[in-house]
Each structure stands twice: as C-alpha cells, then as structure tokens.
A and B are shown apart, each in its own frame.
Chain A
C-alpha cells in the first residue's frame, strides 16, 4: 500500500541547533517527493521537491532534503534553525502519472530561544 510515515509527531530544538525531520515512504512507482510547511492557521507552502537527478535538493528558507532510494527516505534538514521555523512540516509522495499526493501526518517543530 502507498503510504508516507513521519515517525516524529513533535520535535523541540533550540534556536541555532541543527534539525532533521524524518520521512519514509512506501510507493509502487518512481516517487516524486515533497516537503511542505504550515504555519499556524495557514495553508501549506512548498519547501522543496524531488523529481529526479541530484538526490540532494535545496529548498527555500535554507532547508535541504536527501532522497535515499535504498532506505525509502526523504529526510528534511537545516543546519541552523531559526525561531521563525516553528511550524508543522508535511512530507508527501506522488508520481508522474497521478495527480494525487499522499501526505504524512506531519511533524510539529517547536523552537526554543
């Protein structure tokens, strides 16, 4: 079955610390992978996406993610977190022949000063 797992429901980090949010997927076709961010009470904004090519992709706001096919993972990273990064983060998977994304349940990031 197609699914996306974000094993961490809630993560707390100090400002300036590094961050890694985990995402694992199960998908029958070659995946397209996405990370979205949602600030409280807002819609979702695309952080970055992977379609093909270089497995390390750069996104907005200093985020990056690495696609590891052997591990079925697409973890999101940031070397130094800012207080404004506090939000909920969603990983999603799709493919070229479908218009529907499958979302993970999200990881809520809290940043302490």
Chain B
C-alpha cells in the first residue's frame, strides 16, 4: 500500500523567507500527487496537482510553486513567504481511477 512521508512536520518562518516542503511516496509508481492547504477554520484547498515528472497544474494563483523532480517526490516552495501562507499543508496521492486519496501526516507552517 502507498505510504506518504512529509517533512518537516512543523516549521516557523519569518515573512519574506523561502520555503521548501518535501513529500515522498512509497509503494506505488507514477502516482498522481497533490498539495492541499488547510487554513484555520477552513476546508481543504487544492493547490497543485501532478500527473508525472515535471508536470504541475496550479489550481489557484498564489505565492507558492511546486516541482516534481522525481517520480515519487513532490516539493512545495516559495521564494518569499507571506503571513497568509500559514497553514497546514498536506501531500496526497490517489488510488488510480477512483479519486480516493491517501494523505501524508502534514506539515504545519507558521509565518511570523
């Protein structure tokens, strides 16, 4: 079965600093990968979606970017963090053809 690893688990960064959150997937090949953000009191917002190496779809305009340098690696980045980037970031993969998602444990980002 698929296993998703995310790190770091928690991160406190000043406004204007860069960001790199990493996600790796085990137990599957050529997975679809997703980055979601969960802000306080809000649901899950899909940020990025990738069907393969170098293939990234952005769902909403924002201060963040994503990259997929390897088949099972998905990275969320920012050059300059904003206060509004604070939140809980979840990486996910899916069971092909069903839409069922498997989530990592999440990375909590606090921007001060």
Contacts and interface: CB of A to CB of B under 8 A. Distances in A.
Interface residues of B, number: 23
A100 B105 contact: no
Given A100-B46, A103-B44, A46 B100 contact: yes
B55 to A, nearest CB: 12
Contact residues of B: prevailing secondary structure:
strand
Contacts of A96: 97-99
A98 B96 CA distance: 10
B104 interface: yes
A46 B92 CA distance: 12
Given A43-B104, A105-B42, A106-B43, A100 B98 contact: no
B99 A32 contact: yes
B68 interface: no
Contacts of B103: 36, 43-45
Given A32-B99, A43-B105, A99 B49 contact: yes
A44 B90 contact: yes
Given A43-B90, A43-B106, A90 B43 contact: yes
B98 A101 contact: no
Interface in B78-112: 90, 92, 94, 97-106, 108
Interface of A: 32, 34, 36, 41-46, 49, 51, 90, 92, 94-96, 98-101, 103-106
30 contacts: A32-B98, A32-B99, A32-B100, A34-B99, A34-B100, A34-B101, A36-B101, A42-B105, A42-B106, A43-B4, A44-B92, A44-B101, A44-B103, A45-B103, A46-B101, A49-B98, A51-B98, A90-B43, A90-B44, A92-B101, A94-B99, A96-B98, A99-B32, A99-B94, A99-B99, A101-B101, A103-B44, A104-B43, A105-B42, A105-B43
